[in-house]
């Protein structure tokens, strides 16, 4: 999969799945804008990509803020002159029972996980139209199709990401912009480890049950998601749009 001279923006790329995706896209030849609300981690990832022989620039910004989303697109255009790929990966979890979820928490999860995709897409798509096409991948979650208790707000946003992806695919097909989403299962990232720690579980304790019900017998790595994203934004996926790809080692097919 070759992405030579393509320009890709990855949100939430300071760590975890976003970092793995930014690095994988750079390996395929893309020039990458490493977006993250945390400026230090964005700079560190952009530096690591440059050090590995790739081309990257960091862009601090909160995807839920309109001015930051606009600035993210402007950074790509100012530095690289075009936008071919947008990976809407930035997301936050919330593991709280519905009756204990405050309106502020609910609004914050929706703002980052859903409104952030709307805003970043809104400011990147005009450049894709300008250059006669592009590809967007939204990171949802398997929780969109099978979930647990205490994740109401998070689950609702991830279900909405699938619907949003389909609507965007229809709206921008005429402009040769493909829009797909990826539904990761349990992926070993800081977010996952922090969630388990909040429940008082070590990583090994927390994943034991999931592994037992995962046909591939392991949790995923950021690279597993990054490889799927790289395929979806490549020319090899030229006829793929509006699709939702489950990447979970088979976890959600196990009853
Ligand atoms: N790890 C998993 O098991 C898993 C499973 C399913 C879906 N996902 C989804 O994958 C995506 C990445 O998850 P992860 O596990 O790598 O998370 P993570 O917490 O390890 O990394 C997320 C990154 O996004 C950044 N970020 C958070 N809020 C932001 C904002 N408002 N604007 C810009 N950047 C922001 C953080 O600073 C961080 O660098 C999320 O959308 C998450 O919901 C993760």
Determine the residue of 91, 146, 147, 159 to mutate for testing ligand 1's pocket, defined as the one with the most ligand atoms within 8 A of the Cβ atom: 91
| pLDDT tens by residue, 216-231 | 999 999 999 999 999 9
Instruction: Please give the full DSSP string across 142-204, using - where no structure is assigned.
Output: GGGTS--TT-HHHHHHHHHHHHHHHHHHHHHGGGTEEEEEEEE-SB-SHHHHHHHHHTT--HH
* Strands 134-139 vs 244-247: parallel, antiparallel or unpaired: unpaired
CA-to-CA distance for 107 and 204, rounded, in angstroms? Answer: 32
CA of 112 to the centre of ligand 1 (A): 10
Q: In the chain, what are the domains?
A: 7-185+220-246 (3.40.50.720)
Ligand 1 pocket at CB < 6 A: 11-12, 14-18, 36-38, 41, 62-64, 89-92, 112, 116, 139, 141, 184, 186-187, 189-192
| pLDDT tens by residue, 103-142 | 999 999 999 999 999 999 999 999 999 999 999 999 999 9
Q: What is the pTM of this model?
A: 0.98
As to burial, measured by CB atoms within 10 angstroms (0-12 exposed, 13-18 middle, 19+ buried), residue 204 is: exposed
Q: Is 154 part of the annotated catalytic residue set?
A: yes
| pLDDT tens by residue, 131-157 | 999 999 999 999 999 999 999 999 999
Q: How confident is the model at residue 199 (pLDDT cuts 50, 70, 90)?
A: confident
Supply the pLDDT for residue 173. 98
User: Of 206, 63, 142, whose CA–CA distance to 71 is shortest?
Assistant: 63
């Amino acid at each position: 999969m070759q992405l030579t001279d393509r320009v890709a923006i990855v949100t939430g790329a300071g760590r975890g799945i976003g970092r793995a995706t930014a690095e994988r896209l750079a390996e395929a030849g893309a020039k990458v804008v490493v977006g993250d609300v945390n400026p230090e981690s964005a700079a560190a990832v952009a530096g690591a990509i440059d050090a590995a022989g790739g081309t990257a620039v960091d862009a601090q910004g909160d995807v839920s803020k309109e001015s930051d989303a606009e600035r993210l697109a402007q950074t790509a255009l100012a530095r690289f002159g075009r936008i071919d790929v947008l990976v809407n990966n930035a997301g936050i979890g919330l593991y709280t029972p519905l009756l204990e979820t405050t309106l502020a928490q609910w609004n914050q999860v929706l703002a980052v996980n859903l409104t952030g995709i709307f805003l970043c897409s809104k400011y990147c798509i005009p450049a894709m139209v300008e250059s006669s096409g592009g590809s967007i991948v939204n990171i949802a979650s398997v929780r969109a199709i099978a979930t647990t208790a205490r994740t109401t707000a998070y689950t609702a946003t991830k279900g909405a990401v699938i619907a949003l992806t389909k609507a965007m695919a229809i709206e921008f097909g005429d402009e040769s912009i493909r829009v797909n989403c990826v539904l990761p299962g349990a992926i070993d990232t800081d977010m996952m480890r922090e969630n388990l720690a909040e429940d008082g579980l070590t990583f090994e304790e927390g994943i034991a049950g999931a592994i037992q019900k995962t046909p591939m017998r392991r949790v995923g790595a950021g690279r597993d998601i990054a490889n799927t994203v790289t395929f979806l934004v490549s020319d090899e996926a030229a006829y793929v749009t509006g699709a939702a790809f489950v990447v979970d080692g088979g976890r959600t097919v196990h009853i």
